[in-house]
Chain A
Amino acid sequence: MQTISLARPQLLNAIWAMHDVKGFLDDNDIAQLSTLFGVSAVEIEGVVSFYHFFHRKPSGKHTIYLNNSIVSEFSGYEEVKRAFEKETGATIGKVDPTGTFGFYETSCIGLSDQEPAALVDFCPMTELTPQKVKTIVSKLKTGSTPLSICDEPKNNIRYTPGERAFILKDYVPGAALQKLKDLEPMEVIQQIKDAGLMGMGGAFFPTGIKWEGCRKNASNRKFVVCNADEGEPGTFKDRVLLNTMPGLVIEGMALGAYSVGASEGIIYLRAEYRWLKEKIEQTLEDFREKGWLGDHIKAKQPFSFDIRVQLGAGAYVCGEETALLNSLEGKRGEPRTRRYFPIERGYLSKPTLVNNVETFATAARILESGPARMRELGTKDSPGTKLISISGDCAKPGIYEIEWGMHLSELLTLCEANDPYYVQVSGPSGTAVSMKERNRRLCKEDLLCGGSFMVFNKSRDLLQILLNFNNFFKHESCGICTPCRAGNFILNRKLEKLELGLCSLRDLVEIEDWGATIKQNSRCGLGQMSPNSIIDAIHKFPEYFDCRVDKSGSRLSHGFDMERAVREYEEAVEA
């Protein structure tokens, strides 16, 4: 007889609990989990191996994750990596011989405004230099805890439009919740619609319509999920919101729950933000004490709603809402097929409202300030303001609350961009923008921005940027569909060929064609957006590519490099 004692959605937490003990899972742990959850061991292995913060081999007494995003690369990643390797004795991807330090690289950890940054046992260490690394490692060696020596990440709120700020203004706890007193669910939804709120997680779906749809789907159980997975490289606005006003986000979730008729909420927090978990949970506790969360919410009766925090485990794709739902259910974070929307069948197949952190925060502000106020800001199609995370070659990286409609050039001036050449808007999945487009406006009518805004100047190598993005997708693809899994790997080979200077014009055409194939045929947004930056760059920076490809049209040489092809043999026979 099998004794199944834990429900599947608890799997991630159960793995974390075991993992925290020794930094990895051994075969016994897997067997134990398999018994506890009543599934085969290979199924547990499948989940564990999906998330990159779970290890099956010892990962050191202290586990160090150095961010390998492009902004980090340009801020001294190599030096810092070498310093870590030298000081800890662990080469990247390995544990040092004494088992003290495990040293790994990881995708963007949401600290692009203070790179290079790393997580040591999930405690943030920012603005690293070789000197700082030396100090950190020596302190760890002499017994300091990472918590005692880590940095409190700066919020770096650099700009708000003064009086016209909508999100980043003083937060009065409970102000939005109080408004519920006089409002019916449909009235709340109407306000959200009137304000013209769009989802801030990148897809810009009208929030009011989503809420209304979820409300209409009758069910005995519904859920509200806050997407705090913030994985798009260069984005860190949700981090700052959760760090500065977690209460506002929670209030937004409560409004959502009230509107759609849900009583259970979950904040899916990326593991990279584990250092924020305690603060969020403390805020939840304060809310419960005040009667703003729990069985009978004071502001409105009858209305019960409570929230728990679910920690992710390292997987960019889990920001995609259906992958997130699978992850919440204790599965591999593979996006679902598009048969049902989450508002039809979401978490545990129940209607589920999934919104981004900033969406919930803005929703709370709408109730507080009124939809009319939001309509006074921004543009016709994108009212209100937007939090932009700026990083890269500028004097003032950080958070900018801008009114929708701002010109690119104005934003570049505000952040004191130093001779900008290339801006990547909305992260690697977004759009590559050249300075010919500096007069474009950030808004739905022209160029939307999900939050990431990376500035690069002329000294940066375009191809290094594109390869970094491509490696990111190749690694972060969930691997389930052909075009995204195989296609990005294939593009990677092409970009490497380009880097070696072996491409002809035909290769560029192929990159575009194959990129289009990946875009059109991938199953979820990750694959559909993954070749964007490469395709854009080829179009917008012809001067860069022109001098890097063979234009002779020769039928004799297809980027075959004899010298390179025989090198291995020559070395082998010399030895």
Chain B
Amino acid sequence: MSHPITITIDGKEVQVEDGTLLINAIREAGVDVPSLCYYEHIDPPLGTCRVCTVEVNGRHQASCTTLARNGMSVVVHDDPTLHDTRKAMVEMLFAEGNHFCPACEKSGDCDLQGMGYDLGVQMSRFPHLFVDRIIDYNPKRMVIEHNRCIRCRRCVDEVLTDDGKRVFSFAHRGNDTEVAIDYDQEAKLTEEQAVRAMHICPTGSILVRGKSLARPFGERKYDIDGAHAGGNVPMEKMFAPKVGNGEKKVIATVSLAGCFGCHMSMLDLDMGILDLVDLVEFNKSPLTDIKEFTKRVDIGLIEGGCCNSENVHVLREFRRKCDILVSVGECSIWGGLPAMRNMVPLRECLEEAYLHSFTSENEAAIIPHHEDIPKILDKVYACSEVVDIDYYIPGCPPSANHIWKMVKNILFGAEYSVVYPEFKYD
């Protein structure tokens, strides 16, 4: 070091070169700090996502745009609210865009998604905005999926043609800010340059036709092998030793606006289900075909969000009858795949489905309605927008392990945290 200086990171003094980017200084000291827009060789750094926020001399600052100065006092993890702040940034990005991970080409290789896993984002505390954004199929080689863009600016700064022209730019302002692509310049990119652009993008917004599903499941960037992460609890150990006074806990489950996939996943326990029924009894649930609650329930597992009036009634009944309510799966947590309609006015959806579809007969076509059929809501609501929800189990669907470990933990207070390989949005 030619100009060594001393800074403190979480109370520990470290020596770094004067003027090092703080994010690098922190990482060199062996301390983790998340980042999303930061891309080592973009200078000056973009400083757009604020996910790398730390406290510098008492104030929040993005560590990727701050230079280390002698005597700086930096807090990264000592104050737990900082972790929550960084998590809030990621949650905001999820709430702002339309991220349907199970239907996304980048899923498994997406930095935003990986950041969600890293920071333990089970749900966004912010309401999803569901703004209608376009998918731009005009470029010759690329497809731009505006629903997923987090406006990190990497593409704007990094993707240039051989003669130095920008291919991307930000356009508009405020909540309308978006990336725009120059079709003429895009056509000048080589295949290799285009693929690089796709890789630079931390999300699935820049796709190159024919190249976007290159890696199979299991080999993707964020598909960490469970054994390596030290997480896979053998099934037979899961519900033993017995906890509690021998009295069985009561579980109810329901599928609202979901696909039953989460219920299928619950059944994925195979033989483990025998251990499970030793410990718990099922009340109202499609698994038992018990249609009405017959007693008070300890825990209600809700699959699916609310897309019609009946969903709301059922959910409220669950809230009344269950001590604890758990949202299981993305649909229940924030709407999930059914919420793909939330960007389109309901009337348009109904007309498209019932009046203008291939199978609708011109004269006879109507939008179904009858006092006995539930009314469709203006949008798909997350369960937490309707009643209080106590816990969230992300995934589409969450794996059987994930669901039952969480349930066990909640019911019996067993020591347990969700391990990385089980924490997924797809």
Tell me whether B48 and A482 are in contact (CB under 8 A).
Answer: yes
B323 to chain A: closest CB distance in Å? 11
A314 to chain B: closest CB distance in Å? 10
Closest-by-CB residue of A relative to B382 is A558
Chain A residues in 8 Å Cβ range of B345: 568
Q: Does any Cβ of B come within 8 Å of A159's Cβ?
A: no
A348 to chain B: closest CB distance in Å? 16
Partner of A566, one of B50, B169, B377, B384: B377
Tell me whether B180 and A42 are in contact (CB under 8 A).
Answer: yes
A444-470 vs B, Cβ < 8 Å mask (1 yes, 0 no): 000000000000000000000000000
A555 to chain B: closest CB distance in Å? 4
| A483-B92, A514-B126, A562-B309 as given contacts; A41 in contact with B184, CB under 8 Å | yes
B142 to chain A: closest CB distance in Å? 13
Tell me whether B49 and A482 are in contact (CB under 8 A).
Answer: yes
Binds B, one of A43-51, A241-249, A251-259: A43-51
Q: Does any Cβ of A come within 8 Å of B181's Cβ?
A: yes
Chain B residues in 8 Å Cβ range of A43: 165-166, 169, 182
- Could you tell me which residues of chain A, from 529 to 575, have a CB within 8 Å of some CB in chain B? 555-560, 562, 564-573
Per the bound structure, the CA–CA distance linking A230 and B5 in Å amounts to 41
Binds A, one of B59-67, B212-220, B243-251, B255-263: B59-67
Closest-by-CB residue of A relative to B47 is A337
Closest-by-CB residue of A relative to B369 is A573
A172-216 vs B, Cβ < 8 Å mask (1 yes, 0 no): 000000000000000000000000000000000000000000000
- Could you tell me which residues of chain B, from 386 to 422, have a CB within 8 Å of some CB in chain A? 386-388
Tell me whether A477 and B387 are in contact (CB under 8 A).
Answer: no
Q: Does any Cβ of A come within 8 Å of B89's Cβ?
A: yes
Chain A residues in 8 Å Cβ range of B264: none
Q: Does any Cβ of B come within 8 Å of A479's Cβ?
A: yes
Partner of B386, one of A46, A338, A558: A558
Tell me whether B166 and A566 are in contact (CB under 8 A).
Answer: no
Tell me whether A338 and B65 are in contact (CB under 8 A).
Answer: yes
Tell me whether A50 and B378 are in contact (CB under 8 A).
Answer: no
B366-381 vs A, Cβ < 8 Å mask (1 yes, 0 no): 1101000001111101
Q: Does any Cβ of B come within 8 Å of A395's Cβ?
A: no
Where chain A touches its partner, the secondary structure class is helix
| A555-B388, A565-B377 as given contacts; A339 in contact with B175, CB under 8 Å | no
Partner of B172, one of A41, A339, A479: A479
Chain A residues in 8 Å Cβ range of B95: 486, 490
B345-379 vs A, Cβ < 8 Å mask (1 yes, 0 no): 11100110000000000000011010000011111
| A339-B44, A339-B65, A483-B89 as given contacts; A569 in contact with B173, CB under 8 Å | no
Partner of B166, one of A39, A485, A487, A522: A39
Per the bound structure, the CA–CA distance linking A41 and B167 in Å amounts to 9
Tell me whether B182 and A568 are in contact (CB under 8 A).
Answer: no
- Could you tell me which residues of chain A, from 87 to 129, have a CB within 8 Å of some CB in chain B? none
| A46-B169, A479-B174, A566-B377 as given contacts; A571 in contact with B129, CB under 8 Å | no
Closest-by-CB residue of A relative to B387 is A556
Per the bound structure, the CA–CA distance linking A210 and B420 in Å amounts to 51
B307-351 vs A, Cβ < 8 Å mask (1 yes, 0 no): 001001000100110000000000000000000000001110011
Chain B residues in 8 Å Cβ range of A573: 366-367, 369
Per the bound structure, the CA–CA distance linking A573 and B351 in Å amounts to 10
Chain A residues in 8 Å Cβ range of B375: 566, 569-570
Tell me whether B347 and A485 are in contact (CB under 8 A).
Answer: no
Per the bound structure, the CA–CA distance linking A571 and B351 in Å amounts to 12
Per the bound structure, the CA–CA distance linking A564 and B170 in Å amounts to 36
Closest-by-CB residue of B relative to A52 is B173
Where chain B touches its partner, the secondary structure class is mixed
Chain A residues in 8 Å Cβ range of B181: 42
Closest-by-CB residue of B relative to A573 is B369
Chain A residues in 8 Å Cβ range of B53: 521
Count B-side interface residues using an 8 Å CB cutoff: 72
Partner of B350, one of A337, A490, A572: A572
Per the bound structure, the CA–CA distance linking A494 and B177 in Å amounts to 21
Chain B residues in 8 Å Cβ range of A41: 182, 184-185
- Could you tell me which residues of chain A, from 480 to 503, have a CB within 8 Å of some CB in chain B? 480-483, 485-490, 493-494
Tell me whether A517 and B88 are in contact (CB under 8 A).
Answer: yes
Chain B residues in 8 Å Cβ range of A514: 88, 126
Q: Does any Cβ of B come within 8 Å of A225's Cβ?
A: no
Q: Does any Cβ of A come within 8 Å of B151's Cβ?
A: yes
Tell me whether B175 and A485 are in contact (CB under 8 A).
Answer: yes
A372-408 vs B, Cβ < 8 Å mask (1 yes, 0 no): 0000000000000000000000000000000000000
| A43-B169, A488-B175, A572-B367 as given contacts; A481 in contact with B47, CB under 8 Å | yes
Tell me whether A480 and B151 are in contact (CB under 8 A).
Answer: yes
Tell me whether A560 and B312 are in contact (CB under 8 A).
Answer: yes
Q: Does any Cβ of A come within 8 Å of B154's Cβ?
A: no
Tell me whether A556 and B174 are in contact (CB under 8 A).
Answer: no
- Could you tell me which residues of chain B, from 123 to 145, have a CB within 8 Å of some CB in chain A? 125-127, 129
Chain A residues in 8 Å Cβ range of B185: 40-42
| A482-B92, A486-B92 as given contacts; A568 in contact with B173, CB under 8 Å | no
Partner of B177, one of A480, A510, A556: A480
| A483-B92, A486-B95, A520-B85 as given contacts; A2 in contact with B163, CB under 8 Å | yes
A43, A50, A334 pick with most chain B CB within 10 angstroms: A43
Q: Does any Cβ of A come within 8 Å of B168's Cβ?
A: yes
Partner of A476, one of B51, B174, B367: B174
Tell me whether B172 and A49 are in contact (CB under 8 A).
Answer: yes
Chain A residues in 8 Å Cβ range of B172: 49-50, 479
Partner of B50, one of A479, A482, A569: A482
Per the bound structure, the CA–CA distance linking A480 and B174 in Å amounts to 8
Tell me whether A481 and B173 are in contact (CB under 8 A).
Answer: no
Q: Does any Cβ of B come within 8 Å of A62's Cβ?
A: no
Per the bound structure, the CA–CA distance linking A52 and B51 in Å amounts to 30
A490 to chain B: closest CB distance in Å? 5
Chain B residues in 8 Å Cβ range of A482: 48-51, 89, 92-93, 96, 150
Q: Does any Cβ of B come within 8 Å of A222's Cβ?
A: no
Chain A residues in 8 Å Cβ range of B351: 572
Tell me whether A572 and B346 are in contact (CB under 8 A).
Answer: yes
Tell me whether A480 and B170 are in contact (CB under 8 A).
Answer: yes
| A46-B171, A482-B92 as given contacts; A40 in contact with B182, CB under 8 Å | yes
Tell me whether A337 and B65 are in contact (CB under 8 A).
Answer: yes
Tell me whether A523 and B62 are in contact (CB under 8 A).
Answer: yes
Per the bound structure, the CA–CA distance linking A101 and B240 in Å amounts to 77
Q: Does any Cβ of A come within 8 Å of B153's Cβ?
A: yes
B39 to chain A: closest CB distance in Å? 14
Tell me whether B182 and A571 are in contact (CB under 8 A).
Answer: no
| A479-B170, A482-B49 as given contacts; A560 in contact with B381, CB under 8 Å | yes
Per the bound structure, the CA–CA distance linking A49 and B177 in Å amounts to 9
Chain B residues in 8 Å Cβ range of A517: 85, 88
Q: List 22 A-B contacts (CB under 8 A).
A: A40-B166, A41-B185, A42-B181, A42-B182, A43-B165, A46-B169, A46-B180, A50-B170, A50-B173, A339-B65, A475-B173, A477-B174, A478-B174, A485-B175, A490-B127, A493-B127, A520-B85, A556-B316, A564-B378, A565-B381, A566-B309, A572-B351
* A-B interface, 6 closest residue pairs, ranked by CB to CB distance from nearest: A479-B177, A46-B169, A42-B182, A555-B388, A573-B369, A486-B96
Beyond contacts A49-B180, A493-B127, A573-B367: 13 other A-B pairs, Cβ-Cβ < 8 A, are: A40-B161, A41-B185, A42-B168, A42-B171, A50-B172, A315-B173, A334-B170, A339-B65, A482-B48, A489-B129, A490-B129, A565-B378, A566-B375
B residues with CB within 8 A of A: 44-45, 47-51, 53, 59-60, 62, 65-67, 85, 88-89, 92-93, 95-96, 125-127, 129, 150-151, 153, 161, 163, 165-177, 180-182, 184-185, 309, 312, 316, 319-320, 345-347, 350-351, 366-367, 369, 375-379, 381, 384-388
